[in-house]
Structure formats: C-alpha cells, structure tokens
Amino acid sequence: MKLGRLIFWVIILLCLSAPDWGTAGESEEYLQITGPCDLVFPEDHGAHPGYRTEWWYYTGNVRSADGREFGYQLTFFRSAIQSSRQPADRPDPASAWRFDQIYLAHAAVTDIKNHVHHHAELTCREALGMAGVFQDTDRIRVRLKNWSTEVMPDAHALRAYAEPFSFELTLTPLKPPVLHGLRGYSRKGARSESASCYYSLTRMKTSGKLTVGDKEISVEGDSWMDHEFSSAPLESDLEGWDWFSLQLDDDSELMVYLLRKKDGSYSPASCGTFVKPSGESVHLDSAEFDITVQDTWTSSDTRAVYPSKWEVRILPESIRLVITPTVPDQEMTTEESTKVTYWEGSVSARGSRNERPINGRGYVELTGYEKPFDAPM
C-alpha cells in the first residue's frame, strides 16, 4: 500500500514539474537550422528530439447545425531539458524513469455567441509513457496524459478533455503540406541560425463534437495545423511576434508573421506565405505586405494591451482585409506550464481581392505584450 502511494506521488511530481524556459539546456549542444529543411512526409509529422523546442499546433473555427460558432486551439510543446545527441560515455536511457524531454499542452475553446473563452494546460515529463511522440508504420501519436493528436494517413484525430470544455475532432487535409520560407527554412531573425523548420496544413475539413459545460455539440468547419522545431532563442532585440493565419472563402489561405523589435519597428525577417486555391504556395517577404493596427484591447487580468483590429494588405495579390477578433478576450495565461501569457484567438476577415469581395476566418497569436518574450523560439 505504501509503495503504491509512493509511485502515485512520484507520477504526480513528474507531471507537475514545468521547465525553466529561460535556462533549460543552455549548456547543451543542440542541432542547428541554417538552411533548407526539405521535410519528408509522413515522417516529419513526428518528433525531432535533436532540436531544443518543437510544437504541433492546431486551430480552427467550427459551427453547429443551428449556426452556433466556436473557435478552438490545441497545441503540444516538446521542450528538451538536455540534448538527445548522446556522447559515447553517456548510458542509454534504458530506465522507464529517465527522460530528456518535457511535454506541455494548451487547449482552448472560444464560445463566440456567449463571448466566453475557456482554456486549460497540462505538463508532464517524458517518463513511464505518460507523454511523448509514439510512431509506427502508418500513424504518429503525440500524447500528453489523455490529450492527443493522432496523425494517420488520411486524417488527424484530436482529443482534449478539460473543465468546463472538451473536444474530439477529426481533421482531413484538403491540400498538401506547405513549406514556409526556403523549403521549410523559416528565418526568425538576422542570424542564419535564428530559424526554424516550419510547415503547415492550411485547410483541413473538420468534424466532431465539443462539450461546453454539460452540453455536447456536433460541429463542422475548417482547421489549420502548424508544426515547427528549432534550437534558436529569440534574438535579443526582439520582444515578440504577431502571427496571422487566414482561410479565405475563395479557397486560398494566408500566413504572415511580424517579428516585433524592442524599438517598435519590425524585423526584416518578418514574412509570410500565400496559398492559392490550387495548393501552390507563394513566399511573401516583408516588403510585400503591410499590416496596420486599428484598435487595441486591454486585459483586465494582466493589464497587457494587445492589438485588436488590423488592416492587412498583401500587395502582390491585391488583397486588402480588415481583421477583427470574434471575441476580444482570448488571452492565454499559462502559469502551470510555459509560464507565458499570450493572446491566441479566433478572428474574422472582410475585404477584397482584385476589387472583388472576400471574407474569411482564422486565428491570430500575439506574444510579448504582457512582458518581452524570453522563452525558446
């Protein structure tokens, strides 16, 4: 009985200990990204433990049969506490209690009609099979306790259970993966190694169920998936980023990120990708788009002031959009996991392309507004 209780509390401690994002693994040698990634699928849907940081990120806008709308987010983070590039004199991690990685996860549901944003978080060390990336011949599963994404040949299955919300969704990609930057090599600063390997599935047909309170709701809609890995910290002159993903009603998609410098300007490494209805992607450098903040929102919890309305112009595609949050308060506070406060929310877009009306839905992520972002990129 005493041994059983001891094992129980050890498991609890393994799952509650969060990493120190500012110092974890600083003395270790991780793989660096300095050129094209040339990702191969389905293998690269899996983990890349030689790199310090990695995340699998899903967002979407879904609706019920009676027209009730929701946004959702599910993100899994892998954070290395020491490099998995083992020296010859280091023993293999044969014990089930040993681990090199910590896994964290964030989930959220935005109830647009009721202007309510629910969010939750989990943390667990990669030990005893409680968290990790599990891969076999035809599927890859990223799991943290009872939250998971399962990447299968034709679909992704998402599962997240929290209080007072949960969801079980199936996502079917309608376009092939889009490699951002130079064949997946996505610059995040002035130095060549300030970069990530980054790809997206920009339009995924979505169906399933979500629960809010005690009500289970069948939903359908569209989702977006990002997968990114890197070993580089954010450069010291940067304080955060503004990231936009949009699915437009002409079957095109848009991703843009702005790297914000501490002096108020934007890094020239800011860039984006436009995806045509055919699936062909077009790289956008920082001179090819313009984003202007038109309004702000102040958090009553953290007093952080976030942009809350934007005009976006994509010059080569003659696109002009006004983007607004579906709910102003979609702030994520994550003291039990990453300890990063950020805004991650559902948005709508209205505007024109080649002077013809165009609308869309998407998600925006805003970091570094509560305080400068100092976690690994």
- Are 217 and 210 spatial neighbours (Cβ–Cβ below 8 Å)? yes
How far is residue 55 CA from its own chain's centroid? 6
What amino acid occupies position 34? T
CA distance 252 to 274: 8
Q: Does the pLDDT value for residue 135 go beyond 60?
A: yes
Q: What is the pLDDT of residue 339?
A: 84
Encode pLDDT of 238-282 as tens digits.
Answer: 999 999 999 999 999 999 999 999 999 999 999 999 999 999 999
- Are 142 and 133 spatial neighbours (Cβ–Cβ below 8 Å)? yes
Beta-strand ranges (E) seen in 214-337 are 215-230, 238-248, 253-261, 271-275, 281-285, 289-298, 305-314, 319-325, 331-333
Residues 147-161, mean pLDDT to the nearest whole number: 97
Q: Quick one: pLDDT band at residue 317, thresholds 50, 70, 90?
A: very high
What amino acid occupies position 285? D
Q: Quick one: pLDDT band at residue 22, thresholds 50, 70, 90?
A: very low
Query: Domains plus CATH for the chain?
Result: 41-87+96-367 (2.40.370.10)
Q: Does the pLDDT value for residue 102 go beyond 60?
A: yes
CA distance 188 to 180: 12
CA distance 149 to 169: 10
Q: What is the pLDDT of residue 374?
A: 64
- Are 196 and 232 spatial neighbours (Cβ–Cβ below 8 Å)? yes
Q: What is the pLDDT of residue 328?
A: 97
Phi/psi for 8 (5° steps) reads -60, -50
Q: Quick one: pLDDT band at residue 81, thresholds 50, 70, 90?
A: confident
Q: What is the pLDDT of residue 251?
A: 98
Average pLDDT score over the chain? 89
